[in-house]
Structure 1
């Protein structure tokens, strides 16, 4: 019996969707590479076999992936954080596109789903890391590492005492732990977006529109509004949880706005026929030299999301009006 290449590819795709998640959980080898493989396979299989069948296969795979971690969860060990749930965001993207939603809107909601699926499983670990004893251990360990590496002497030569260093670490380390969900959310969104671009360009053979015409729906600006409101509300009410939620939402909104700021820069380069390499070098140098440039790009992107300053029509998204 001879199996055609098409059938063999279909069998391999089904195995990736169903078998890889449980194997990754069983051997504790979940990583962004595994997530990318599953997500890319989902997009390809959806095109070949349809959304319904592919969604069922992916759902079965993730249900099975929970089996190896159930014993540890039952005794209070948070093992769900090791599972990469980001590929499930592909379900929402494909579903919305099949329902007729435009590409920009579908991608935005897919990114939001990727953000939530990446950040929420990490919340228990974040809460545990923010406990006073855990923070003290982290600060003490970091300070000891500085001593072992001889960095405290180097800093002392520059005028920073060990007490000043410890004070700085007590400010920075809690903030790093507080923003851990935002960092994971941004990584998940980046992973989701890049895999979708790879699928469209290399597999679907659809020429992507120029970066200068990328677009997010106007209501994406509500991320920044909700984040700022939550942060200010938490600060006013002395509610640490609300404040940390606001910090994380604002960080995600800033990342999206930064990308859209770069899109605006690409639009200017295209419109005035500037050298993209020269502009890129100047921007990198400016970002290194001045954080103000970074904030400027973020605000440019944020205002472009809200007001569509580039006047990009919906039809450039590759969809019918």
Structure 2
């Protein structure tokens, strides 16, 4: 009987490995599919155990190496989504609360993203200076097209565009990390729904209006600002870029929490619908200014828990 069950587990693991590989192949063509790539491994951990899932992940790696045209692409997908699937499975299986599960899964995803970035930089497939040079070359061609059409772009506008490209390229690591976290949240939500459909009990996410960050998360902003200022003062470009990326990551995180605070008070306070509509419209129209205003609101909530006075009210 035990042998039969082991055989069934191995067959199921092989099937999940094939399914994960197919999702990876489809994800190259349709990137949003990659969001569900860790789910088969998570389901396997839930249904069987970690050993079977690890074996399935190893088979997935072999299949990817054989079937994928680019081995680097296979390695990136394996590093980015393999450990995440295993960790999500353990979190689901141990019924870890949704908040702690998301934090843990996001940390794993961020570590995987950093490992992927390091790998790509190490083998020379990606270089920020090369990307910036390529973008500037494309920009030069655009300026030439304008000149041939009898139009000219003022030097100050050209400089502004080049500075914008430089900033965008330097913030690519932060964009990658934030996209990984967002992908992890979506993966967790979809995985929860899949497991519920399979009859398993999983921890549900709290309402968006109750999302918050611990007070010590403000150290991310403090470090980012310190690195940014120190890099500018001592002319250390790498330190300056690190600070910019940290500020972007934690600034966006506090912006999300600030939105959660706004939603909370929209639900709790007896505001009229026209007033709420006007506030939402203004938020979108003046998003450049409102972004940091909402982020500051998130910072205050992390430090002072400004939703506490109304915590007993219905949300």
Q: Does 1:116 align with 2:111?
A: yes
How many residues get paired? 296
Equivalent in the alignment of 2:293: 296
Within 5 Å, which residues of 2 pair with 1:265-276? 265-274=262-271
Once the two structures are superposed, what CA deviation does each residue of 1:106-143 show, in whole Å capped at 9, x if it has no partner? 31132122223234423527962314xx5344213124
| CA–CA separation in structure 2 for the residues paired with 1:250 and 1:51 | 37
Equivalent in the alignment of 2:127: 128
Gaps of 5+ in 1: 1-6, 313-321
Gaps of 5+ in 2: 1-6, 310-315
| CA–CA separation in structure 2 for the residues paired with 1:138 and 1:72 | 26
| CA–CA separation in structure 1 for the residues paired with 2:274 and 2:78 | 39
Return closer, same or farther for 1:141/1:309 CA change in 2, 3 Å cut-off: same
Q: Does 1:35 align with 2:67?
A: no
Q: Is the 8 A contact 1:108 1:217 kept in 2?
A: no
Equivalent in the alignment of 1:3: none
Q: TM-score, normalised by structure 1?
A: 0.72
Equivalent in the alignment of 2:241: 244
Equivalent in the alignment of 2:160: 168
Q: SS of 1:204's equivalent?
A: helix
| CA–CA separation in structure 1 for the residues paired with 2:56 and 2:111 | 22
Q: CA deviation at 1:197?
A: 1.6
Q: Is the 8 A contact 1:126 1:180 kept in 2?
A: no
| More displaced stretch, 111-120 vs 87-96 | 87-96
Q: Is the 8 A contact 2:255 2:294 kept in 1?
A: yes
| CA–CA separation in structure 1 for the residues paired with 2:138 and 2:180 | 29
| CA–CA separation in structure 1 for the residues paired with 2:78 and 2:48 | 26
Q: CA deviation at 1:174?
A: 1.3
Q: Is the 8 A contact 1:31 1:84 kept in 2?
A: no
Return closer, same or farther for 1:112/1:276 CA change in 2, 3 Å cut-off: farther
Q: Is the 8 A contact 1:212 1:264 kept in 2?
A: yes
Once the two structures are superposed, what CA deviation does each residue of 1:140-197 show, in whole Å capped at 9, x if it has no partner? 312423554799977x6xxxx4322321122111111111111111111111101212
Give the CA RMSD over aligned residues: 4.2
